[in-house]
Amino acid sequence: MKISATIAALLVGYANAWSSPMTMKADVGNSRRDLLKKGAAFATAAAAPAAANAYSLPDLPYAFEALEPYIDAPTMKIHHDKHHATYVGNINKATEGKDEVPILDLMADALEATPVRNSGGGHYNHAFFWEELAPHDKAKNTKPSADLEAMINKSFGSFDEMKAKFETQAAPGAVFGSGWVWLAVNTAGDELKIVGTPNQDNPLMKGVCDEILLPILGLDVWEHAYYLKYQNRRPEYVSNWWSVVNWDKVNENFDYVVANHVGVSVQG
């Protein structure tokens, strides 16, 4: 629980009050009454739900230009500093006065509250997205682990067939307008699926897909994710995006969801 400056000052006041000499009986009574009032105020403040700004914009784990030439620096800066920041600001407004919980915990029932669905989903999805990417010099040296490769082969036939199906799902005709494409594990932890979701929905949300799924890799196909560089050439963006996928992080996500049967936590 976070203690505000006001509450901290109140605690200091308590210490001073009890340590000061009490020379008059009437003063003792007044002091005790004052302390009881202050104690009630402290208890109320301590029991109150968390204030606004429960969620924050996480820093990128690399520089804006680090994903060049596959994703350009101006797009990364606008995408992170403007679009993602807006989702963070709006989910903080939507949850002001409510108990502070991890953004992951809001996903399951997000469809019941539009601000959580749109802004909470936008925050979770973007925080997840940044972490799975890496500069090409690093990404090119990563690959699916033996366990992930085995499940890819079981679920899709081969790695190349998985990529082809993913790119088909990311095509404009499959995800019309704005949305995301996900490689996700079923809750049993024994099968991979590729799904598309509209807007800022994700497979963790009950009712978005036929079943809840646990994402291990996601691709933003909103135009703000690629338009400055690729304009209307979304398939080119999708094809180039593979060059900056950090499979070490995807492997980590895979191991976590298979072992725990829950979604991956994110920063912020």
Q: Give CA–CA dist 44/251, Å, rounded.
A: 45
Return the bridge partners of 193, or none: 184
N residues, the chain: 268
What does the alpha-carbon distance between residue 86 and residue 54 come to, in Å, rounded to a whole number? Answer: 14
Confidence at residue 52, expressed as pLDDT on a 0 to 100 scale? 59
| Vertex 221 angle, CA 218 and 226, to 5° | 115
Of 179, 205, 180, 196, the closest CA to residue 107 belongs to: 205
Place of tokens 């682990």: 145
Rounded CA separation 102/202 (Å):
16
Centre a 10 Å sphere on the Cβ of residue 199 and count the other Cβ atoms it contains. Answer: 15
Owner of token pair 């699926």: 193
Which residues of the chain are under the pLDDT cut of 50?
A: 1-33, 35-51
Give me the half-sphere count of Cα atoms (radius 13 Å) on the Cβ side of residue 252: 13
pLDDT the model gives residue 176: 79
- Measured on CA atoms in the order 56, 225, 77, 183, is the torsion positive or negative? positive
Question: Where is 215: in which H helix or E strand?
Answer: strand 213-220
**What is the DSSP code (8-state) at residue 133?**
B
Q: Determine how many CB atoms are found less than 10 A away from the CB of residue 51.
A: 13
The strand pair at 213-220 and 192-198 is best described as unpaired
Note the pTM of the prediction, 2 decimals. Answer: 0.81
d(CA 157, CA 160): 8
Read off the pLDDT of residues 51-79 as tens digits, 9 standing for 90 and up.
Answer: 458 999 999 999 999 999 999 999 999 99
Q: Tell me the C-alpha distance between 68 and 160, whole Å.
A: 24
Q: Measuring CA to CA, which residue among 198, 194, 246 is closest to residue 221? A: 198
The Cα 86–Cα 92 span in angstroms is: 10
Instruction: Give CA–CA dist 203/240, Å, rounded.
Output: 24
Q: Provide CB contacts within 8 A for 18, sequence distance 6+.
A: 35
The predicted pLDDT at position 96 comes to 94
